[in-house]
Amino acid sequence: MDPRELRNAFGGFATGVTVVTCENDEGQAHGATVNAFTAVSLDPPLAQVTLGRTSRACQFLEGQPFAINILADDQLAVAWHFAGRPAEEAPAWVEGPTAPLLAGAATTISCRPWRTYDGGDHLIVIGEVESVDTTDRLPLLFHGGQFRYLSAEHDRAPGIHWGGSIDCPTSGWFDAASFRPLAEPAPA
């Protein structure tokens, strides 16, 4: 299997963008941008993240509590920061129930270690969910090798999806509540 072809195929699945956070060996907050996050089970409450074996976070996670920070759509700089392109201003941390959390995340899922599995060049880490914090903030997405957005504001932005076109269905040109067809359909 050609690795590039497989990577492109995997990239055809839109995902949310998360930063998995934990403490390093010195007790300091550490994070890694990860889009391989999956809900596993409601009973018991389990969540899974998958990290490349060469990542530093992978070394800190085995058998340790961690948190999954689902990034909000205004946290692109945070995603890049923990993907290896440090921001000028480091992201803000807050104390979490099991591991450090990132301030401003759309959702946080705090986990205790449950199981770890071999995933080839990745480590599959499943955590038992101890606590969640949800907001109404929209998530940052990743698809086809690019960050993406759900918000109407981003849909109207030049160069994003509709390219600022007035044809964008979220641009306000079409009011579904007041729309009436020109003619009623004929009875069948």
Per-residue tokens: 20: 């998995």
Q: Using alpha carbons, select from 57, 56, 81 the residue that is nearest to residue 68.
A: 57
What value does the mean pLDDT take over residues 142-161?
68
Per-residue tokens: 40: 């596993």
**Which domains, from first to last, does the chain contain?**
3-150 (2.30.110.10), 152-188 (no CATH)
Of 20-34, 42-56, 133-147, 161-175, minimum mean pLDDT range: 161-175
Q: What is the pTM of this model?
A: 0.77
Q: Residue 131 pairs with which residues in a beta bridge?
A: 110
Which helix (H) or strand (E) segment is 79 a member of?
helix 76-81
pLDDT at 182: 54
Contact 63, 20 (CB under 8 A): no
What value does the mean pLDDT take over residues 56-62?
82
pLDDT at 15 over 80: yes
Question: Distance between CA 70 and CA 158 in Å, rounded?
Answer: 26
Angle CA(147)–CA(95)–CA(73) in degrees, nearest 5?
Answer: 20
pLDDT at 2 over 90: no
